[in-house]
Amino acid sequence: MAFTLFRNVIQAQPLFLHSSALLRRKNGVLYCTMKSTSQSQTQTATEEKQQQKSPQKVKVSPQKQMKEVSKIAADYEAVIGIETHVQLSTLTKAFCSCPYSYGAQPNTCICPVCMGLPGALPVLNSRVIECAVKLALALNCKLSFSSKFDRKQYFYPDLPKGYQISQFDIPIATGGSIDLDLPLEFGGGHRRFGITRIHMEEDAGKLMHSGNGSYSLVDLNRAGVPLLEIVSEPDMRTGIEASEYAAELQRVVRYLGVGNGNMQEGSLRCDVNVSVRPIGQAEFGTKVEIKNLNSFSSINRAIDFEISRQVNLHNQGQQDSIVQETRLWEEGAQKTVTMRKKEGLADYRYFPEPDLPEVVLTKDYVDSVGKSLPELPEAKRRRYEEMGLSMQDVLFLANDITVADFFDATIQKGADVKLAANWIMGDIAAYMKNEKLSIIDIKLVPHELAELIASIKSGTISGKIGKEILFELLAKGGTVKGLIEEKDLVQITDLGDIEKMVDKVIAENPKQLEQYRSGKTKLQGYFAGQVMKASKGKANPGVLNKVLVEKLNAKV
């Protein structure tokens, strides 16, 4: 996060000498938009629930967990910052025209540029700038209309050129924020976290270490793939805030279509910095970096573990043993372990990339990109809230842009908001989960869902029949009207018709009638079932029960 970047000493002296203005930057100004930490109290109960939900067999005593967290809330404050790398889903790499596809045969998406062969020169992919501007606008950042690339130099086998093309002191965007809503099972609540900067850079290849040998293996398909690095302000205070921040970034990235933000695939990578300080202390504590986080829940659990570890050391008077280091999260053991101690800061010898020209944005360009932005998750959530939906519904519907679009299309056809939400969140979501389909794949279309809702509301069909029709529509498509006609599903509401059916059923079941009259009034359900069966489920339940009660209790 912000701490790390600006402390790298600039080694390369720019060749023009009005350097003082350039080197001025917000060094070490770590302002925090502090959010209340009282949420952490409510999180204890939900944290244990989270632990139980997680796929790992984790032995965590809930009482111990609660004790830990309440101790923390009382005396210490955790300060968390996150650096996120988002892999852009452009068709070609950042600086060459190689196509990139995840999972391709190793070393088959290469060319002299991304392999760093002598004489090859980088040329920037225009779509990278577009993605960067989109993300910057979505995160309320200030854009640098003039920015540059720099070389970040270090030697490592997955870095063909011996340097990474990145942006050092003049990134494309700075000073933004992200809004999110915490899930209800963690106490809910709205949060806003600051974004320090966003910059463009290229990815390195993939390095695999052999178990015992003295060699490693490199796949350079990924070398040169464009990344956006997003550095947050150290505003998060708990594991859940951090994991929700990452989840919201994923949501925004997917909404914008700039990347698929998949942590498991590595197209969204988070490194977390955690420190604790006694409440009231102004200085930050020593920060520890945590790597190897492969899911949002790992982010959550790793941070909570690290906070407890640091607080325990404080409580034992051993806070000096907290050193600035990088730790790895071990998913199996559910703890962080030392990877290596940071021996001094890395010297990357940054200097401006001479092979790439300045990145210049015009106001017209930025405005046109701004106009092309879809409704963002935060705006959607507020709009859904205003429509009267509960927070739970809001969070579900706004989570995935394809689901939100389906929902929006359905209510645009006039469907009742709450009913549409219920259908989507209930039966439709269950079907999608069972069949492992996304909402785009199902055969049901929004206007048919609207038609279904209207038919039930108008009494044309019963709710139960509606569910059957839904299943048919999901699996095979078709129209509501068509199915009603084809299967003769129109509800029977005519009083006379129902009375006839009831009479028949009563006549056919004298024994049950006797039992009912002698006190077993629960048998009304039996009679109702029989009428339903006879009517093939079409009898209107309300009218049916009214008639039943009348007839069963008559003729005494």
Partner 1 sequence: MVTGGLLLGRSFPLLLIHSNKTVKLTHGYGHCASYSFLDESDSPCRRQNSAARFSAKTLTNEEAPDVRRLAQTARISLTEQEVEDFGPKIQQVIEWFGQLQGVDLNQVDLGIRAATAADAEEGVNLRDDVPVTFPKMDAIIEGLPSYDEPYVRVPKVLHKED
Residues 204-263 that bind partner 1 (CB under 8 A): 207-210, 213-220
Judged by beta carbon, residue 202 or residue 248, the one nearer partner 1 is 202
If binding is defined by CB under 8 A, does position 197 make contact with partner 1?
Answer: no
**Minimum CB distance to partner 1 smaller for 92 or for 262:** 92
Amino acid at 43: Q
123 or 549: CB nearest partner 1: 123
Among 105, 264, 362, 458, binds partner 1 (CB under 8 A): 105
d(CA 457, CA 428) in angstroms, rounded, equals 18
Which residue has tokens 């955790």? 78
DSSP-derived secondary structure for 370-408: HHTPPPPHHHHHHHHHHTT--HHHHHHHHHSHHHHHHHH
Q: Is 409 in the site for partner 1 (CB under 8 A)?
A: no
Q: How far is the CB of 8 from partner 1 (least distance, A)?
A: 12
What whole-number distance in Å separates Cα of residue 354 and Cα of residue 38? 51
Asked if 125 is part of the footprint of partner 1 (rule: CB under 8 A), the reply reads: yes
Among 15, 282, 440, 556, binds partner 1 (CB under 8 A): 15
d(CA 218, CA 165): 19
Candidates 54-62, 121-129, 261-269, 456-464 — which segment interacts with partner 1 by CB under 8 A?
121-129
Given a contact cutoff of 8 angstroms between Cβ atoms, the answer to whether 176 and 141 are in contact is: yes
The angle that helices 39-53 and 62-75 make with each other, rounded to 10 degrees, is 150
Residue from 50, 85, 394, 435 nearest 226 by CA: 85
Please tell me the count of residues contacting partner 1 according to CB under 8 A: 72
β-strands 335-341, 351-352 pairing:
unpaired
CB of 78 to partner 1, least distance (A): 27
- Give min distance, CB of 489 to partner 1, in A: 51
> Which window, 106-114, 368-376, 444-452, 507-515, contacts partner 1 (CB under 8 A)?
106-114
Indicate which single residue of 186, 193, 351, 516 sits in contact with partner 1 (rule: CB under 8 A): 351
For residue 175, give Cα distances in angstroms to 31, 181, 233, 309, 332.
11, 21, 9, 32, 37
Question: Residue 288 Cβ, how far from partner 1 at the closest point, in Å?
Answer: 17
| Residue whose C-alpha is closest to residue 164's, from 244, 222, 106 | 222
**Binders in 143-182 for partner 1, by CB under 8 A:** 146-148, 153-157, 161-162, 170
Is residue 115 a contact point for partner 1 (CB under 8 A)?
A: yes
User: Using CA atoms, how far apart are residues 79 and 237, in angstroms rounded to an integer?
Assistant: 5
Which string of x and - marks every residue 20-49 that binds partner 1 (by CB under 8 A)?
-xx---------------------------
**Least distance (Å) between residue 86 CB and partner 1:** 17
The answer to the question of residue 91 lying near partner 1 (CB under 8 A) is yes
Cα separation, 56 vs 58, whole angstroms: 6
Indicate the DSSP class of residue 86. Answer: E
